[in-house]
């Protein structure tokens, strides 16, 4: 990897991490376009720039994170992903990450599911409007949805938001819960990668990780603000349509 490729991947990660379009899927597809091989370093690099993006949540939502009524449902929702991720860590990193066909299939069907949920599941007055009001039972179910996002292309944000919407959580609150739930999820993923890797990075690789970390943090901060503003007056349908179109075009013109 060179500095240009690093910068592009970091921008893609920062912009897509919190949108329901799959940051992992976009990283895999972007790597294909830039002819970046899925080496162990690249896989680890992608986790570190995800961490940079995730820390933007800490920057923007620090006050909410001090509230136990927010912390409890967040940690409850994190449990299913923690268990599944720990058990399937090797399978995900060695066999699923980097598989373009799996990514495109997940992007396509995830887009279809987003459209169906938004079309049939209308927001109502009694739906939950604050994270503090999400029950622990519903939080756990939302966490089960998030665990599906271990498959690249599904999108952690999309899975969490869809799960929350089906549990009667309003669109904006579902998105914010997805942001906050990303903290323990991605911090643990990074920690697990640190434990299981030999940390044998060269000086150049450390510089690439540093550049990627900072770039993804800045772009992700802007992306979160954009999404919160966008969903005040729009549904997630456009993101579903985008996923479907992207997966079809990439399959037809890049993979075939």
Summarised one tens digit per residue, pLDDT across range 102-159 is 888 999 999 999 999 998 887 777 889 999 999 999 999 999 999 988 888 888 899 9
pLDDT of residue 198 exceeding 70, the answer is no
pLDDT at 92: 67
Q: Is the sign of the CA dihedral 74, 80, 86, 91 positive or negative?
A: negative
Q: Is there a contact between 146 and 77 (Cβ–Cβ < 8 Å)?
A: yes
The more confidently predicted of residues 188 and 108 is: 108
171-185 tens-digit pLDDT? 999 999 999 999 998
pLDDT at 212: 94
Domain span at residue 104? 3-255
SS (H, E, C) 136-197: HHHHHHHHHHHHHHHCCCCCHHHHHHHHHHHCCECHHHHHHHHHHHHHHHHHHHHHHHHHHC
pLDDT at 89: 64
pLDDT of residue 3 exceeding 70, the answer is yes
Rounded Cα distance between 230 and 244, Å, is: 20
| Three-state DSSP class for residue 60 | helix
Cα dist from 140 to 106, 127, 167, whole Å: 23, 18, 11
| Residue 129 CA neighbour count, 13 Å, CB half | 5
Residue 88: DSSP 8-state: T
| Three-state DSSP class for residue 256 | coil
40-90 tens-digit pLDDT? 788 788 888 988 998 999 999 998 888 999 999 999 999 998 888 777 766
Domain total of the chain: 1
Rounded Cα distance between 210 and 176, Å, is: 27
């Amino acid at each position: 990897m060179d500095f240009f490729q690093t910068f592009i991947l970091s921008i893609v990660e920062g912009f897509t991490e919190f949108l329901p379009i799959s940051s992992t899927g976009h990283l895999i597809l972007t790597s294909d376009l830039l002819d970046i091989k899925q080496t162990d370093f690249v896989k680890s690099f992608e986790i570190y720039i995800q961490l940079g993006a995730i820390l933007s949540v800490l920057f923007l939502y620090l006050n909410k994170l001090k509230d136990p009524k927010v912390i409890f449902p967040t940690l409850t929702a994190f449990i299913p992903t923690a268990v599944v991720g720990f058990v399937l860590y090797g399978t995900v990193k060695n066999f699923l990450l980097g598989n373009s066909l799996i990514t495109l299939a997940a992007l396509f069907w995830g887009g279809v599911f987003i459209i169906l949920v938004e079309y049939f599941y209308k927001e109502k007055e009694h739906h939950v409007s604050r994270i503090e009001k999400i029950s622990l039972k519903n939080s756990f179910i939302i966490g089960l949805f998030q665990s599906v996002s271990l498959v690249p292309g599904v999108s952690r944000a999309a899975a969490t938001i869809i799960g929350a919407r089906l549990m009667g959580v309003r669109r904006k609150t579902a998105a914010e819960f997805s942001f906050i739930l990303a903290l323990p999820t991605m911090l643990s993923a990074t920690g697990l990668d640190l434990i299981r890797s030999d940390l044998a990075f060269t000086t150049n690789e450390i510089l690439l990780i540093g550049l990627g970390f900072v770039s993804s943090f800045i772009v992700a901060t802007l992306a979160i603000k954009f999404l919160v503003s966008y969903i005040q007056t729009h549904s997630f349908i456009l993101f579903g349509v985008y996923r479907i179109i992207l997966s079809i075009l990439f399959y037809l013109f890049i993979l075939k």
